[in-house]
């Protein structure tokens, strides 16, 4: 059985605010002709986040990314998914008519709508989709504390 590397940490929890996430979306790399691409391209895979009463599910579309080039980090409030998609070999004497597939390094930091239990995490990578299932920590429950005679 293959495993996806998952690291736990707090260092990326403070990396982004809502304004920074807005800028990320505004300046997201767009498809460009390979003849104008830089040597170190970046791209942004599409992702979905689902929430149930018990868990949060992240689904990332990362077809063509080798599992060895994929890394996932989590903490109680965020998930960082990063990796690299290597370009396909070019066919000799061929010229592009359309080039939309993006290659190179990618990184996404997803801030979660609820705190998660970092001990209850599972992931799978099937047919180009990475799925991460994160168990939510139940909301704080008020406890009555008995008052003893003084």
Count of the separate structural domains present in the chain: 1
Asked, for residue 91, whether it belongs to a domain, the answer is no
Question: Range of 40's domain?
Answer: 5-86+99-136
pTM above 0.75, yes or no: no
In this predicted structure, the answer to whether residue 63 has a pLDDT above a threshold of 80 is: yes
Are the C-beta atoms of residues 106 and 43 closer than 8 Å to each other? yes
Spatial CB neighbours of 83, under 8 Å, sequence gap ≥ 6: 62, 65, 69, 70, 71, 105, 106
Average pLDDT of the chain? Answer: 81
* Cβ atoms < 10 Å from Cβ of 114: 15
Alpha-carbon span 61 to 75, nearest angstrom: 21
Torsion angle, CA of 111/117/120/125, rounded to 10 degrees? 0
pLDDT digits (tens, 9 = 90+) for 76-134: 999 999 999 999 898 899 998 998 999 999 999 999 999 999 999 999 999 999 999 99
Instruction: Tell me the pLDDT band of 28, cut-offs 50, 70 and 90.
Output: low
Predicted local distance difference test score (pLDDT) of residue 70: 95
Asked, for residue 40, whether it belongs to a domain, the answer is yes
Asked, for residue 18, whether it belongs to a domain, the answer is yes
In this predicted structure, the answer to whether residue 36 has a pLDDT above a threshold of 50 is: no
Alpha-carbon span 124 to 67, nearest angstrom: 10
In this predicted structure, the answer to whether residue 35 has a pLDDT above a threshold of 60 is: no
Asked, for residue 125, whether it belongs to a domain, the answer is yes
Least confident of 11-20, 33-42, 81-90: 11-20
What are residue 93's phi and psi, to 5 degrees?
60, 25
In this predicted structure, the answer to whether residue 29 has a pLDDT above a threshold of 90 is: no
Q: Which residue has the tokens 């990314």?
A: 65
Alpha-carbon span 36 to 46, nearest angstrom: 23
Alpha-carbon span 118 to 113, nearest angstrom: 15
CATH number at residue 15: 2.60.40.790
Asked, for residue 64, whether it belongs to a domain, the answer is yes
Q: Which residue has the tokens 């109680």?
A: 76
In this predicted structure, the answer to whether residue 65 has a pLDDT above a threshold of 70 is: yes
Asked, for residue 150, whether it belongs to a domain, the answer is no
Instruction: Tell me the pLDDT band of 15, cut-offs 50, 70 and 90.
Output: very low
Asked, for residue 69, whether it belongs to a domain, the answer is yes
């Amino acid at each position: 059985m293959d495993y996806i590397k998952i690291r736990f940490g707090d260092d990326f929890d403070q990396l982004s605010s809502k304004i920074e996430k807005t800028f990320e979306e505004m300046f997201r790399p767009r498809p460009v002709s390979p003849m104008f691409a830089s040597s170190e391209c970046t791209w942004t895979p599409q992702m979905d986040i689902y929430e149930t009463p018990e868990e949060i599910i992240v689904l990332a579309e990362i077809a063509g990314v080798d599992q060895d080039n994929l890394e996932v980090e989590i903490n109680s409030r965020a998930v960082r998914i990063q990796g690299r998609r290597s370009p396909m070999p070019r066919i000799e004497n061929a010229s592009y008519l359309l080039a939309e597939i993006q290659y190179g390094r990618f990184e996404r930091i997803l801030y979660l709508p609820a705190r998660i239990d970092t001990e209850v995490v599972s992931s799978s990578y099937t047919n180009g989709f990475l799925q991460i299932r994160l168990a939510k920590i139940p909301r704080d429950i008020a406890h009555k504390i008995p008052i003893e005679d003084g």
